[in-house]
Chain A
Amino acid sequence: MSATVTAENKPAPPPVERIKVKVDGREIEVPKTTPDWQGKPQATTMLQACAHAGVDVPHYCYHHKLPVAGNCRMCLVEFGTPVMDPATKKPALNEDGSPKIARSVLPYEPGTPRGAIACATPISPGMELYPGSPATAQMREAVLESLLINHPLDCTICDQAGECKLQEYSVEHGQAASRFVETKVHKPKAVDLGPRIVLDDERCILCTRCIRFTKDIVNDDALGIINRGSYNTIAAAPGRQFDNNYTLNTVDLCPVGALTSKDFRFKMRVWFLKETKSVCPGCATGCNIIIGSRENVIQRLEPRENDAVNGPWMCDSGRLDYKWVGASNRLKEVLVGGKPSTWQTALSEIGSRLVTAAPGSVAIVGSARLSTEELFLLKQLARKFDAITDVVEHLGEADRLLVHAEKAPNYSGARITGLAYTEAGINLPRIRAGIETGSIKSLVVVGEDLVAAGFSSDLLGRLSLLVVSDIVPTPTTSIAHYVLPGCAYAEKRGTFINAKGRVQKFMKAVEPPGTARPEWEFLHELVHQVTGGNGYSTIEGLFNLLARELAPLAGLEWSRLGDTGVTVTL
């Protein structure tokens, strides 16, 4: 019995009528409607039709997840429509039998081609689009010239350099020299728009992506335009800070260097960044992210688009919560009795002490910050010793957009593997009581500070064996008999299962400090040692094994998870 629901076997949506159009002379068939920014079917636009033909139409203001503004005019495309014979009301034909096409011209100047904004103009049957025509090229060149005349051209010191649409389109569609000989318009520089955002109004091309995002996605009408014409300026509402929990998305959305992140600006040229696909561990939403790192240091996090989870967005708190990964107080070595030791010594001692433990005298507390593979290994350990298990609950505020109340990425993994029963934390009082009464003598803690979770140091001191793995020193590690330095999510691979059952893999971006090792690695060794069984020493094999053993994941394989994961029924 498989309860797995994947994208592949979802009920198919009703078929969409298809219509034929030509893109630069090539006939293609495209759906008559396409989901708009809210997912509602709308007439397919010229831009979308060109995309079907593999032709990119340059654009600044258009964004597939924002309402269409149509203001930048970069996507102007020359087009033609079939001529109707007024007598027969049928398409008129050329002598060779091909349909007669009227190319778009200015109504008041029939010799001059007219473009339509591809982002907002619906296609119609028989329409011809000319994204490659000289007239289209001229329109793009003219828009770029206009955008650049008042632009400061300060690419040398601009954070956007390397990922700037003005730069990219200038190369593709612009001209080498400027005709402009007037004085440029000067506007405010380095405007403190809010706690995390700096605005350079001179670089701004007034595409209004940031305004639409905060108004229509975040529901916080915080930004607007003041002044008029060429003096237009983006600004926060009077007396207000642009300070909601999603402001940094405007830095991603900004096609130029106008909006920059206070955290990242002037830190690193973006072309030096290594990009690693990962998942934000901040809450049970599991936003897909890209970790930008250089030479083993994380420089920034950015959202990675996944319509099943976060769309193209992520919250500011998640985005900025990466500095602990490279913190100087990270645990770097194995401690046995408070003294530096080796993995081999520690694991073999722990193994032999656990094997001799009386049945029912072992408890295991894991963490919803651990990967599904690690939680699965802990459960195997628990099964061997008939141990009582749980994970610690971390609850906080949720919001209507992305932020989940559960403040760890893998509560679903904890439940599916059985390390948590239903609600996280309901076994913790029993574990506490067991230690008090002396029935529990050995405790393995991975990734949590039990003192912070309500276990006093005195109580933990009664244990005859306390094994603690963490990544930073805590009151719990300070009294542990064995301290095993673990890894942050960015230092290892694995999967998290989000609150909605999305199984998503995350990849390794940076190396762990010192001799710290991924938890799944040393847990695998421990399990191997105490159970005598063999397992998989790769994360792929481990995932495929647990997918075979855990019913909700039946049928899944690591290789099938892709970059954006698979949803299962919880």
Chain B
Amino acid sequence: MPQEYRLILKHADQTGYTPDIECYLRHGGYEALRKALATTSRELPDGKKQSPQEVIRDEVLKSGLRGRGGAGFSCGLKWSFVDRRSGKPIYLICNADESEPGTFKDRQILHKDPHQLIEGMIISCWANDVKLAYIYVRGEFPQAARIINQALKEARAKGFLGKNILGTGVDLEIHLHRGAGAYICGEETGLIESLEGKRPYPRIKPPYFPAVLGLYMCPTIVNNVETLCAVRHIVSMGAGEYAKLGTVNNTGTRIISLSGDVKRPGYYEVEVGKATLGELIHHENFGQGLRPGRSIRAIIPGGSSSKVLKAGERFKLKRKGADGQMTTVEVDLLDLPYDFDSLQAAGTMSGSGAIIVLDDTRNPVDVLANVSEFYAHESCGQCTPCREGALWMSKALHRLTHGEGRKSDADYLLHIAQNIQGRTICAFGEAAAWPTLSFVKKFKAEFEARGAADEAHPGKPPASH
């Protein structure tokens, strides 16, 4: 039976659990840090010696942990890219700019269990020789910022932060920085620019890969809140135990934000891949299904920028059978295991783990107009295709939803979106283009019908924009 597996959110919602350090310590807090700091160097079978920090980094790599921010990239690999020979300081930044529409998981941690994040950060910083780290909190999270600042103060007072942490000679300072309210600050190089006090224009890569030329042109690690919390558990449990959670190549737990047309929207921590999309929507442990008489029209599976999935779609997945042979199975949309690889195989992504359910009362034209308006508003405007294309799509969709549509607008929208994806400085181009590409392609009849209806009734007063 699919059910929650609460690892990161184990205590968060327990009665009486408070965000202060005393409560955290009573629940075994900072034990993982002590364990990490007590790590001894080890000799590998090939005779090479690993320093205690390398041991931790190796554990994180072996745990299979994939970034929880959206891209799902291996955390251990990301750490391995860090330029450790530059002679420059290495920075770590916690990306707490949770802004992807439909996503509300990091704020649970920030609000309810801030010390877990701080502990995860201290371990990660120590493992990467980081002496100065930042938590970049989205501007719209003022309460989270106050809670984290208070927690940082407590951690400092208890000797978990600052000079000579727990008498081990390790130094680390963590500062909190609040954004000013822009989605693009969640893009890691935009975040770095913002942290440097500049306009959050994402950097071109090459040459500005954060692992080499990040904050202040120094090697920098940017990790999501949930990812850093997972590090704490990997150290605590050991990589082997952690990797037993979830499924092959999709290890550990994930906090899923479920919203839209379900009876019980909310956040659910599950072992990655152990529940299907259908289970997350319908099962009594999760969304508990749709309202009476409604049926699913579409699912946005990984935050508003992920490509929409249409009810009834079937996908071919490769699976390893018991005999070790790879077989291809065809599954219905609702039978897709909710993990990184399955959603990618379905042509979309699990992104930030935000599932938005759209029932049959929702018109895809209106939904896309809403999503598109968001991306037009949040495009930073640095590079041409996104700056001009995002607003162009939004204006066309506004027309289409305000009685001035054309049947040809469907192809018009596809044309605009195709000229954005893959041509921009950062992945915002994809974020802006993918909803349009997927909605229009999968619901082309609806878009053309809306435009055709407008053309059949000309003379309506023009909608103002």
Asked if A121 lies at the interface with its beta carbon under 8 angstroms from chain B, I say yes
Contact A146 B415 (CB under 8 A): no
Contact A149 B388 (CB under 8 A): yes
Q: How far is the CB of B131 from chain A (nearest CB, A)?
A: 29
Contact B395 A73 (CB under 8 A): no
Which residue of A has the minimal Cβ distance to B207? A120
Which residue of A has the minimal Cβ distance to B383? A71
Of A68, A143, A145, A225, the contact of B204 (CB 8 Å cutoff): A68
Of B387, B396, B415, B423, the contact of A229 (CB 8 Å cutoff): B387
Of B199, B201, B391, B422, the contact of A230 (CB 8 Å cutoff): B391
Asked if A504 lies at the interface with its beta carbon under 8 angstroms from chain B, I say no
Asked if B381 lies at the interface with its beta carbon under 8 angstroms from chain A, I say yes
Give A145 to B421 CA distance when docked, in angstroms: 15
Give A149 to B390 CA distance when docked, in angstroms: 12
Of A71, A146, A228, the contact of B389 (CB 8 Å cutoff): A146
Give A108 to B207 CA distance when docked, in angstroms: 22
Tell which of B276-284, B328-336, B371-379 binds the partner: B371-379
Contact A73 B424 (CB under 8 A): yes
Q: How far is the CB of A159 from chain B (nearest CB, A)?
A: 23
Asked if A303 lies at the interface with its beta carbon under 8 angstroms from chain B, I say no
Contact A71 B425 (CB under 8 A): yes
* Listed residue (A122, A139, A181) with the most chain B CB atoms within 10 angstroms of its CB: A181
Asked if A30 lies at the interface with its beta carbon under 8 angstroms from chain B, I say no
User: Which residues of B195-225 have CB atoms within 8 Å of chain A's CB atoms?
Assistant: 199, 201, 204, 206-207
| 1/0 contact string of A107-138 vs chain B (CB within 8 Å) | 01100101101001110000000000000000
Assuming the contacts A112-B422, A115-B423, A225-B199, asked whether A232 and B387 have C-beta atoms less than 8 A apart, the reply is yes
Asked if B392 lies at the interface with its beta carbon under 8 angstroms from chain A, I say yes
Asked if B85 lies at the interface with its beta carbon under 8 angstroms from chain A, I say no
Give A229 to B423 CA distance when docked, in angstroms: 16
Interface of A (DSSP majority class): loop
Q: How far is the CB of A402 from chain B (nearest CB, A)?
A: 28
Contact B204 A120 (CB under 8 A): yes
Give A86 to B207 CA distance when docked, in angstroms: 26
Contact A224 B199 (CB under 8 A): yes
Assuming the contacts A71-B382, A71-B384, asked whether A142 and B392 have C-beta atoms less than 8 A apart, the reply is no
Asked if A70 lies at the interface with its beta carbon under 8 angstroms from chain B, I say yes
Contact A146 B388 (CB under 8 A): yes
A357 / chain B contacts, CB cutoff of 8 Å: none
Contact B383 A73 (CB under 8 A): yes
Contact A183 B204 (CB under 8 A): no
User: Which residues of B128-169 have CB atoms within 8 Å of chain A's CB atoms?
Assistant: none
* Listed residue (A70, A139, A143, A185) with the most chain B CB atoms within 10 angstroms of its CB: A70
Contact A72 B383 (CB under 8 A): yes
Give A114 to B430 CA distance when docked, in angstroms: 13
Contact B391 A229 (CB under 8 A): yes
Q: How far is the CB of B42 from chain A (nearest CB, A)?
A: 30
Contact B423 A73 (CB under 8 A): yes
* Listed residue (A121, A229, A230) with the most chain B CB atoms within 10 angstroms of its CB: A229
Asked if B412 lies at the interface with its beta carbon under 8 angstroms from chain A, I say yes
| 1/0 contact string of B450-465 vs chain A (CB within 8 Å) | 0000000000000001
Contact A230 B390 (CB under 8 A): yes
A70 / chain B contacts, CB cutoff of 8 Å: 204, 383, 425
Q: How far is the CB of A519 from chain B (nearest CB, A)?
A: 53
- The count of chain A contact residues (Cβ–Cβ below 8 Å) is 42
Asked if A231 lies at the interface with its beta carbon under 8 angstroms from chain B, I say yes
User: Which residues of A470-522 have CB atoms within 8 Å of chain B's CB atoms?
Assistant: none
Give A478 to B67 CA distance when docked, in angstroms: 84
Give A117 to B389 CA distance when docked, in angstroms: 18
B390 / chain A contacts, CB cutoff of 8 Å: 229-230
Asked if B272 lies at the interface with its beta carbon under 8 angstroms from chain A, I say no
Contact B376 A122 (CB under 8 A): no
Contact B392 A182 (CB under 8 A): yes
B425 / chain A contacts, CB cutoff of 8 Å: 70-71
Q: How far is the CB of B436 from chain A (nearest CB, A)?
A: 14
Give A149 to B412 CA distance when docked, in angstroms: 14
User: Which residues of A186-239 have CB atoms within 8 Å of chain B's CB atoms?
Assistant: 205-206, 224-225, 227-232
B392 / chain A contacts, CB cutoff of 8 Å: 146, 149, 180, 182
Asked if A26 lies at the interface with its beta carbon under 8 angstroms from chain B, I say no
Asked if A106 lies at the interface with its beta carbon under 8 angstroms from chain B, I say yes
* Listed residue (A115, A139, A142, A224) with the most chain B CB atoms within 10 angstroms of its CB: A142
A117 / chain B contacts, CB cutoff of 8 Å: 204
Contact A225 B395 (CB under 8 A): no
| 1/0 contact string of A74-118 vs chain B (CB within 8 Å) | 101000000000000000000000000000001011001011010
Contact A147 B391 (CB under 8 A): no
Contact A142 B421 (CB under 8 A): no
Asked if A150 lies at the interface with its beta carbon under 8 angstroms from chain B, I say yes
Give A276 to B163 CA distance when docked, in angstroms: 67
Which residue of A has the minimal Cβ distance to B419? A142
A10 / chain B contacts, CB cutoff of 8 Å: none
Contact A183 B388 (CB under 8 A): no
Contact B380 A143 (CB under 8 A): no
Contact B382 A146 (CB under 8 A): no
Give A71 to B387 CA distance when docked, in angstroms: 10
Give A67 to B399 CA distance when docked, in angstroms: 40
Contact B206 A122 (CB under 8 A): yes
Asked if B33 lies at the interface with its beta carbon under 8 angstroms from chain A, I say no
Assuming the contacts A70-B204, A182-B395, A230-B390, asked whether A145 and B182 have C-beta atoms less than 8 A apart, the reply is no
User: Which residues of B407-452 have CB atoms within 8 Å of chain A's CB atoms?
Assistant: 412, 415, 419, 421-425, 430
Assuming the contacts A122-B206, A225-B381, asked whether A76 and B388 have C-beta atoms less than 8 A apart, the reply is no
B379 / chain A contacts, CB cutoff of 8 Å: 228-230
User: Which residues of A50-75 have CB atoms within 8 Å of chain B's CB atoms?
Assistant: 68-74
Asked if B385 lies at the interface with its beta carbon under 8 angstroms from chain A, I say yes
Give A54 to B424 CA distance when docked, in angstroms: 27
Contact B419 A206 (CB under 8 A): no
Asked if A179 lies at the interface with its beta carbon under 8 angstroms from chain B, I say yes
Give A109 to B425 CA distance when docked, in angstroms: 18
| 1/0 contact string of A168-180 vs chain B (CB within 8 Å) | 0000000000011
Give A69 to B389 CA distance when docked, in angstroms: 19
- Apart from A71-B383, A106-B422, A146-B388, list 13 A-B contacts with CB within 8 A: A71-B384, A106-B421, A109-B421, A122-B206, A143-B385, A182-B395, A182-B396, A182-B399, A183-B465, A206-B381, A228-B377, A228-B381, A230-B379
17 A-B contacts, Cβ less than 8 Å apart? A70-B425, A71-B383, A72-B384, A76-B423, A112-B422, A115-B422, A120-B204, A120-B206, A121-B206, A149-B388, A179-B415, A182-B465, A229-B378, A229-B381, A229-B387, A229-B390, A230-B391
**Chain B contacts to A: CB under 8 angstroms:** 182, 199, 201, 204, 206-207, 376-385, 387-392, 395-396, 399, 412, 415, 419, 421-425, 430, 465
**Chain A contacts to B: CB under 8 angstroms:** 68-74, 76, 106, 108-109, 112, 114-115, 117, 120-122, 139, 142-143, 145-147, 149-150, 179-183, 185, 205-206, 224-225, 227-232
